[in-house]
């Protein structure tokens, strides 16, 4: 019988295992040359989702060579998960995989620096993420296995609501709602209504207040008189971040600079 190592996998990571092997305790036959990182990845868990690898209670690196009889624990990343920030930065920058366009727009609504293109292949995504120091968000496990990737994270959930909640719980980033262009990720500059009045339709001119113009693409944004879909997204996001920071469940301070957002629309469609 081949020697075996015993691996205990955190509940949060079981989703990465094929259904037939989805159990927290695994016995893995070990021939002696594979690294522990490779063995765990072979089970289906991408390395960026692993918070720590422990052997007999001691932390080891993915390059550790396990020995027969080792008791391994695979821990999930902590929530919130720290991200190295440049001087002056208050929140991580992100790059989203091609299928996450709705999530990208919501993150921009919240003021997160979110790069997104609907036509990039995997190597190009890794290059941009690394060059610009962006956390790469994806639902492609293969992408997360790329060794060159600086910082990646798997996005849980199929609905944008769930994806956003997962992202906010994972990184608890500082939010600056209503400060970025949802179309292009540009920063909004405050503009007076009179500056853009001619670009607005009559109904808009009467009922809405302009709050920003994109400094990159020129799109104008305004908020209406009544609460709407986007306001609800912002409100729930602020709560989710507060909850993630305190570890509480849904409780926490509200507002955090969001003001009293109303329904935003944009002059260009």
Which residues of the chain form contacts with Zn ion (CB under 5 A)? Answer: 181, 183-184, 186, 214, 216-217, 219
Shorter beta-carbon distance to Zn ion: residue 189 or 217: 217
- Residue 216 CB, nearest distance to Zn ion (Å)? 5
Shorter beta-carbon distance to Zn ion: residue 26 or 219: 219
Shorter beta-carbon distance to Zn ion: residue 46 or 186: 186
- Residue 196 CB, nearest distance to Zn ion (Å)? 14
d(CA 178, CA 171): 20
At residue 88, what are phi and psi to the nearest 5 degrees?
Answer: 90, -15
Shorter beta-carbon distance to Zn ion: residue 105 or 146: 105
Helix (H) or strand (E) holding 106: helix 101-109
- Residue 104 CB, nearest distance to Zn ion (Å)? 13
Shorter beta-carbon distance to Zn ion: residue 174 or 184: 184
Residue/partner pairs of 206-214 with CB below 8 Å, 24 or more apart: 208/265, 209/262, 211/178, 211/264, 212/178, 212/179, 212/188, 213/188, 213/189, 214/181, 214/183, 214/184, 214/186, 214/187, 214/188, 214/189
- Residue 206 CB, nearest distance to Zn ion (Å)? 25
Q: What angle do CA 90, 125, 183 make, to 5 degrees?
A: 60
- Residue 135 CB, nearest distance to Zn ion (Å)? 22
């Amino acid at each position: 019988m081949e020697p075996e190592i015993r691996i205990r996998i955190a509940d949060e990571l079981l989703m990465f295992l094929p259904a037939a092997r989805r159990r927290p305790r695994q016995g893995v036959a070990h021939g002696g040359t594979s690294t522990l990182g490779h063995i765990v990845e072979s089970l289906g868990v991408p390395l960026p989702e692993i918070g720590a690898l422990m052997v007999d209670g001691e932390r080891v690196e993915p390059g550790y060579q396990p020995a027969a009889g080792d008791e391994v624990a695979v821990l999930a990343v902590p929530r919130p998960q720290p991200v190295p920030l440049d001087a002056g930065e208050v929140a991580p920058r992100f790059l989203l995989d091609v299928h996450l366009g709705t999530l990208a727009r919501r993150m921009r609504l919240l003021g997160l620096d979110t790069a997104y293109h609907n036509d990039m292949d995997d190597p190009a995504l890794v290059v941009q993420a690394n060059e610009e120091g962006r956390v790469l968000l994806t639902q492609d496990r293969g992408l997360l296995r790329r060794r060159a990737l600086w910082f990646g994270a798997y996005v849980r959930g199929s609905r944008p609501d769930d994806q956003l909640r997962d992202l906010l719980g994972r990184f608890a980033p500082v939010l600056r709602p209503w400060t970025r262009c949802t179309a292009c990720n540009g920063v909004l500059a405050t503009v007076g209504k009179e500056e853009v009045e001619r670009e607005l339709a009559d109904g808009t001119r009467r009922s809405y207040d302009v709050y920003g113009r994109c400094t990159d693409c020129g799109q104008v944004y305004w908020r209406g008189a009544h609460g709407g879909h986007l306001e609800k997204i912002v409100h729930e996001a602020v709560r989710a971040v507060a909850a993630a920071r305190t570890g509480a469940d849904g409780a926490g301070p509200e507002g955090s600079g969001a003001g009293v957002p109303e329904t935003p629309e944009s002059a260009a469609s």
